[in-house]
Amino acid sequence: MSGLPMDEAALGPVQQKWVYTAKTNKVNPGNLTCTPTSMLWLEPLEQVQYHQSEWVGEQGVQQSVNFRHSFLPDAVRKLINVIPSATYGMWNEIDGEEVFKDALENAVDRGEFFTNIRAAKYSLWAINTGNHWKVIYLRLAPSQPSGEYDTLVDLAIVDPQKSKELTAFVRERLFIILDTGGIDISAATQQKIRVPRQRDSFSCGLRTAGHGVYMGDVPSHPGA
What pTM was computed for the model? 0.67
* Residue 141, number of CB atoms within 10 A of its CB: 14
DSSP 182: T
Question: How confident is the model over 45-67, as a mean pLDDT?
Answer: 59
pLDDT in tens, 98-155: 888 888 888 888 788 999 999 999 998 888 887 778 889 999 999 998 899 999 999 9
Q: How buried is residue 67: exposed, middle or buried, by Cβ count under 10 Å (0-12/13-18/19+)?
A: middle
Higher pLDDT, 131 or 90: 90
pLDDT at 9 over 50: no
Q: How buried is residue 185: exposed, middle or buried, by Cβ count under 10 Å (0-12/13-18/19+)?
A: middle
> What is the separation, in whole angstroms, between the first and last Cα of the chain?
38
Tell me the angle at which helices 43-51 and 204-215 cross, rounded to the nearest 10 degrees.
140
Q: Over the range 24-33, which residues count as b (16 or more CB within 10 Å of their CB) and which as e? A: eeeeeeeebe
pLDDT at 44 over 60: no
Q: How many CA atoms lie within 13 A of 162 on its CB side?
A: 0
pLDDT in tens, 159-194: 877 778 888 999 999 999 999 999 999 999 998 877
Length of the chain measured in residues:
224
pLDDT in tens, 12-38: 444 444 344 434 444 333 443 444 444
Is the distance from CB of 183 to CB of 120 less than 8 angstroms? Answer: no
pLDDT score recorded for residue 165: 87
pLDDT score recorded for residue 60: 62
Residues with Cβ within 8 Å of residue 95, at least 6 apart in sequence: 89, 130
Architecture of domain 57-220: 3-Layer(aba) Sandwich (3.40)
Rg (Cα) of the chain, in Å, rounded? Answer: 19
